[in-house]
């Protein structure tokens, strides 16, 4: 990969479709590690990190393709030792840039978002990297980036204990980004490094319409562990109230104007996801100590 600049590891999480054999056949230059069980994404990355010593680690989904020169561009963007993560531009199959950077779901952000404040403040929208309100062509520091493909400084990764084994699927990137930020490391977005991404190719087949609910359940689990169950419940309650309010005015519009039906249905899914999150946080323990 990248003219020998990287060693490639493939972790097979107890697949039953011959994936490990195919990887050995199609990519003899890669090291295939069979986990023996479905560890989840983060723990599989930790497994490779334990067996390697490169200065950088690049966790990658199975549905990405790194374009020529992207790795070198990412490495140049990480020259500053304060940069713990460098995130590339993710490009979808239709050529659009995927929105891949996000704000941390703090209580303050959640209240502001549900009150609609980012819609009236371009400055807030840009600071929080909200979709449609930021420039994807501008390199910059961001709060955190999704983990489809990331370049992570090993020292930073090790200093916070790597990925959390309790995050089996979804939000492991949010959790890692949160802990790295708390430890003083920044995340940098580098649009000059292009990685092609067939978004949700595997999760759509596995989870279908449950993706949103699973994603939010994982997010609230992170909030409960890192911030405490009380804060997680408050955030879930604000999100639930905001979604319920939006649904209240969207539903009549959708009955009269069909173009509102997709927005109404999407908001119903978010409402259900936040409701589940609200119930789930009531069963969570107090916050875990941060590194």
Structure-model confidence comparison of residues 22 and 122, the more confident one? 22
| Separation of alpha carbons 155 and 291, rounded Å | 13
Domain-wise residue ranges, the chain: 54-99+136-199, 207-281
Residue 286 has pLDDT above 80, yes or no: no
Cα dihedral 57→62→68→71 (10° resolution): -10
pLDDT score recorded for residue 248 = 95
Residue 287 — pLDDT band, cuts 50, 70, 90?
A: very low
* C-beta of residue 260 within 8 angstroms of C-beta of residue 254: yes
| The pLDDT value given to residue 54 | 95
* Long-range contacts from 94-97, C-beta under 8 angstroms, 24+ separation: 97/136, 97/191
- Model confidence at 220: pLDDT above 90: yes
In whole angstroms, what is the distance from residue 182 CA to residue 278 CA?
25
Q: How confident is the model at residue 288 (pLDDT cuts 50, 70, 90)?
A: very low
Rounded CA-CA distance 13/23 in Å is 13
Under 8 Å between Cβ of 222 and 175: yes
Reply yes or no on whether the pLDDT at 214 is more than 80: yes
Which 8-state DSSP code applies to residue 288?
A: P
pLDDT tens-digit map of 168-200: 888 999 999 999 999 999 999 999 999 999 976
Considering only CA atoms, which of 113, 114, 137, 136 is closest in space to residue 125? 113
**How far is it between the farthest Cα atoms of the chain?**
61
Band (pLDDT 50/70/90 cuts) for residue 237 is very high
Reported pTM: 0.88
91 sits in which H/E element: strand 83-91
Give pLDDT tens digits for 35-64.
Answer: 888 888 999 999 999 999 999 999 999 899
CB atoms within 10 A of CB 89: 22
CB atoms within 10 A of CB 192: 15
- Region 221-233: what's the mean pLDDT? 92
Superfamily for domain range 54-99+136-199: Spore Coat Polysaccharide Biosynthesis Protein SpsA; Chain A (3.90.550.10)
Q: Mean pLDDT throughout 104-128?
A: 90
CB 271 within 8 A of CB 243: yes
Question: Mean pLDDT throughout 57-74?
Answer: 95
């Amino acid at each position: 990969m990248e003219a020998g600049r990287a060693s490639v590891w493939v972790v097979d999480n107890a697949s039953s479709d011959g994936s490990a054999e195919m990887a050995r056949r199609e990519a003899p230059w890669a090291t295939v590690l069979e986990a023996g069980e479905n560890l989840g994404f983060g723990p599989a990355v930790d497994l490779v990190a334990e067996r390697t010593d490169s200065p950088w680690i690049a966790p990658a989904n199975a549905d990405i393709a790194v374009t020529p020169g992207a790795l070198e561009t990412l490495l140049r963007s990480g020259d500053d030792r304060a940069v713990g993560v460098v995130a590339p531009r993710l490009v979808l199959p239709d050529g659009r840039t995927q929105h891949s950077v996000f704000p941390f779901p703090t209580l303050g952000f959640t209240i502001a978002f549900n009150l609609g404040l980012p819609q009236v403040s371009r400055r807030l929208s840009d600071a929080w990297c909200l979709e449609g309100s930021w420039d994807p062509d501008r390199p910059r520091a961001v709060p955190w980036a999704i983990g489809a493909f990331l370049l992570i400084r090993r020292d930073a990764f090790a200093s916070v204990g790597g990925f959390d084994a309790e995050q089996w699927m979804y939000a492991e990137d949010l959790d890692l980004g949160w802990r790295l930020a708390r430890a003083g490391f920044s995340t940098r977005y580098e649009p000059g490094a292009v990685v092609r991404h067939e978004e949700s190719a595997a999760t759509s087949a596995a989870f279908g319409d449950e993706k949103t609910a699973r994603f939010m359940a994982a997010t609230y689990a992170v909030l409960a562990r890192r911030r405490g169950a009380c804060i997680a419940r408050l955030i879930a309650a604000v999100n639930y109230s905001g979604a319920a309010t939006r649904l209240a005015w969207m539903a009549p519009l959708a009955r009269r104007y069909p173009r509102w039906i997709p927005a109404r249905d999407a908001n119903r899914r978010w409402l259900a996801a936040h409701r589940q999150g609200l119930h789930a946080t009531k069963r969570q323990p107090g916050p875990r100590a941060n590194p």
